[in-house]
């Protein structure tokens, strides 16, 4: 007899290949680390921090810096241990067992994982042609849903949805509309203006992608003051430690570092897409994020993945049926992208679609 819930025993482990000896293009991280000089400055700040005291939980210097970056009031900001924690907090705070939450399919796997653990029914609306969002179907199903959660741009497809459609969805549901904007910096637009007009809208962001801080674990949420206050009660106290706070405060002061990542990703995304389009065995999906999903046309995607791995390039492979023929590559630095393209050409060379 298991000591754990069926929902836990029934779920697979969250396994990600993290072999650092490979060219790592499988987790949508920034290929650039925080510069050494800034790390030194952060170490200095950490030396001045009290490690014996609990961190400030709520409106501290971190929240002030997030407010300065986003233009959103501190009272409507909630920081978390990665946006993953805030996703869990939203499900815990808004849903009971058996409640229905609307999302898209395929989308970010953590939504399904958290819903499954809580016994929440995830109503996954299939993306349409070329992985486009089906806004009309989302609206139909959103009516009596407890919550709607959409990644914009979506992971793993890189496809997006217009602000107008998001507004229609916000209007169609009494539940929360959570817009997960983990990749918004790469898209260049966001849905923040909806916050002032719709009290049920919540926006999720992360420092893990454009801001280079996947290792520091810092996500944040923008919403109405009442929403942030309610959600903070469902989150574990002090989940954002002094180290993550200090690192994030310092990095948020260096917008130039984020801009540099975004500039490189945008130009490399365009170049990679064009090059991949020219390879008959592949069909890339246009992306607004820092990755490109691509179809492998004439052999199982998993064998293509393994061939790439054997050549030292790590991309993302999927088990779910929707993505059986697809792989996802994170946009890296130009040299990493060149290595990816060279490996792809060697493997696909001569193969015709």
Distance CA 179, CA 218 (A): 17
> Given candidates 26, 30, 155, 160, which one binds ligand PMP under the rule CB under 6 A?
155
- Beta carbons of 327 and 30 less than 8 angstroms apart: no
Number of residues that bind ligand PMP (CB under 6 A): 13
> Given candidates 93, 118, 214, 339, which one binds ligand PMP under the rule CB under 6 A?
214
Q: Is 273 in the site for ligand PMP (CB under 6 A)?
A: no
Distance CA 120, CA 172 (A): 21
> Given candidates 145, 149, 151, 348, which one binds ligand PMP under the rule CB under 6 A?
151
The interface mask with ligand PMP, positions 54-93, x = CB under 6 A, is ----------------------------xxx---------
Structure tokens at 303: 């064998």
The interface mask with ligand PMP, positions 233-272, x = CB under 6 A, is ----------------------------------------
Residue with tokens 């993290």: 18
Q: DSSP characters for 123-182?
A: EEEEP-GGG---HHHHHHHHTT-SEEEEESS-TTT-----HHHHHHHHHH-SSEEEEE-T
> Given candidates 63, 124, 165, 180, which one binds ligand PMP under the rule CB under 6 A?
180
Nearer to ligand PMP, 187 or 281 (CB): 187
Nearer to ligand PMP, 124 or 180 (CB): 180
Least distance in Å: CB of 244 to ligand PMP? Answer: 11
Separation in Å, CA 238 to CA 57, 242, 243, 329: 6, 9, 12, 35
Q: Is 182 in the site for ligand PMP (CB under 6 A)?
A: yes
Least distance in Å: CB of 192 to ligand PMP? Answer: 17
Nearer to ligand PMP, 29 or 165 (CB): 29
Q: Is 208 in the site for ligand PMP (CB under 6 A)?
A: yes
Residues in 94-123 that interact with ligand PMP by CB under 6 A:
108
Contacting residues for 196 by C-beta, under 8 A, at least 6 apart = none
- Beta carbons of 291 and 28 less than 8 angstroms apart: yes
Distance CA 115, CA 119 (A): 6
Nearer to ligand PMP, 219 or 284 (CB): 219
CA end-to-end distance (rounded Å), the chain:
51
What angle, 0 to 180 degrees and rounded to 10, lies between the N-to-C axes of helices 242-252 and 36-47? Answer: 130
Residues lying near ligand PMP in the complex (CB under 6 A) = 28, 82-84, 108, 151, 155, 180, 182, 206, 208, 214, 219
């Amino acid at each position: 007899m298991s000591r754990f819930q069926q929902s836990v025993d029934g779920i697979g482990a969250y396994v990600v290949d993290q072999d650092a000896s490979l060219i790592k293009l499988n987790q949508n991280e920034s290929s650039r680390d925080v510069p050494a000089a800034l790390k030194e400055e952060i170490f200095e700040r950490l030396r001045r921090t009290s490690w014996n005291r609990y961190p400030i939980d709520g409106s501290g210097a971190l929240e002030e810096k997030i407010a300065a970056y986003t233009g959103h009031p501190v009272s409507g900001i909630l920081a978390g241990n990665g946006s993953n924690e805030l996703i869990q907090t939203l499900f815990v705070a808004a849903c009971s067992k058996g409640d229905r939450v609307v999302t898209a399919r395929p989308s970010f796997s953590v939504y399904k994982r958290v819903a499954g653990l809580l016994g929440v029914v995830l109503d996954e609306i299939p993306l349409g042609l070329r992985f486009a969002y089906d806004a009309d179907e989302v609206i139909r199903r959103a009516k009596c849903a407890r919550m709607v959660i959409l990644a914009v741009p979506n992971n793993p497809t890189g496809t997006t949805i217009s602000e107008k459609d998001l507004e229609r969805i916000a209007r169609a549901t009494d539940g929360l509309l959570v817009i997960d904007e983990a990749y918004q910096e790469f898209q260049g637009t966001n849905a923040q203006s909806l916050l002032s007009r719709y009290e049920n809208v919540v926006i999720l962001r992360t420092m893990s992608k454009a801001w280079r801080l996947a290792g520091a674990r810092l996500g944040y949420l923008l919403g109405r003051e009442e929403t942030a206050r309610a959600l903070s009660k469902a989150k574990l106290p002090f989940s954002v430690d002094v180290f993550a706070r200090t690192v994030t405060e310092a990095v948020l002061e260096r917008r130039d570092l984020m801009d540099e990542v975004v500039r490189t990703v945008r130009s490399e995304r365009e170049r990679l897409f064009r090059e991949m389009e020219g390879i008959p065995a592949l069909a890339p999906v246009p992306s607004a994020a820092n990755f490109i999903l691509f179809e492998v046309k004439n052999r199982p995607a998993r064998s293509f993945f393994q061939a790439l791995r054997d050549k030292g390039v790590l991309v993302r492979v999927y088990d779910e049926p929707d993505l059986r023929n697809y792989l996802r590559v994170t946009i890296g630095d130009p040299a990493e992208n060149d290595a990816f393209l060279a490996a792809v050409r060697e493997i696909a060379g001569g193969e015709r679609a």
